[in-house]
Chains A and B, each alone.
Chain A
Amino acid sequence: AQSVTQPDIHITVSEGASLELRCNYSYGATPYLFWYVQSPGQGLQLLLKYFSGDTLVQGIKGFEAEFKRSQSSFNLRKPSVHWSDAAEYFCAVGAAGGTSYGKLTFGQGTILTVHP
């Protein structure tokens, strides 16, 4: 069964500081990996996704993530955080094939607070 763990429930950073949100997944083969962001009272927006190829993927709003197969990780990074980045972030893993193709599992989420 696939699963996702986001070890940090809540992270606080200062505006302009760098950011890394952790995501660890469990899946039997190379999965599809996603990062979504949810602002308060809003739906989810896709930041970036990994299917195959280059393990460093670029997304919207200046975010990037790196797929590390050996560590089963897909951490999200941003070099300089803006106050508008305050939101909740979700990592997700999707089955790339087999009987569970189409199934998408989300992590518990990480709430990001940005101090001025």
Chain B
Amino acid sequence: EAQVTQNPRYLITVTGKKLTVTCSQNMNHEYMSWYRQDPGLGLRQIYYSMNVEVTDKGDVPEGYKVSRKEKRNFPLILESPSPNQTSLYFCASSPLRYQETQYFGPGTRLLVL
């Protein structure tokens, strides 16, 4: 089944404790992206990747890192999480051109205490 998977789905952590949210797609898509969703602010793009080893900043990259060593995986790294990073995170992917339909993962709800 074609899908985007994220792990974990729910995470409670404490300030400063490094964490990684994994994202994997099995559709051989070139484009992958991370978003955070906060009430009243909609979705905001954190980072995106047009291809392996190519990543670019979205609108809210501060406090986040990403890597794209393989086409299928695009992990989101929070080196030192802070409470303002408490949010719902979505990973998405799309085929060769990014403007094609994006397939979204189920979301990861993160709480930073």
Residue ranges of A at the interface with B (Cβ–Cβ < 8 Å)? 6, 9, 32, 43-44, 46, 49, 51, 90, 92, 94, 96, 101-109
Contacts and interface: CB of A to CB of B under 8 A. Distances in A.
Contacts of B42: 6, 90, 106-109
B85 to A, nearest CB: 18
Contacts of A108: 40-42
B50 interface: yes
B50 A102 contact: yes
Interface of B: 31, 33, 35, 40-45, 48, 50, 56, 58-59, 90, 92, 98-99, 101-102, 104-107
20 contacts: A9-B40, A43-B90, A43-B104, A44-B90, A46-B101, A49-B99, A49-B101, A51-B99, A92-B43, A96-B99, A101-B50, A101-B98, A102-B50, A103-B58, A103-B59, A104-B45, A105-B45, A105-B59, A106-B35, A106-B43
Interface of chain B, main secondary structure: strand
Contacts of B48: 102-104
Contact of B33 (A9, A43, A104): A104
Nearest to A1: B59
Contacts of A44: 43, 90, 92, 102, 104
B99 A32 contact: yes
A44 B37 CA distance: 11
Nearest to B39: A109
A43 B59 contact: no
Most buried by A among B33, B90, B98, B99: B99
A43 to B, nearest CB: 4
Given A104-B45, A109-B42, A43 B99 contact: no
B99 A94 contact: yes
Contact of A46 (B40, B90, B102): B102
A94 B98 contact: yes
A62 to B, nearest CB: 18
Nearest to B100: A49
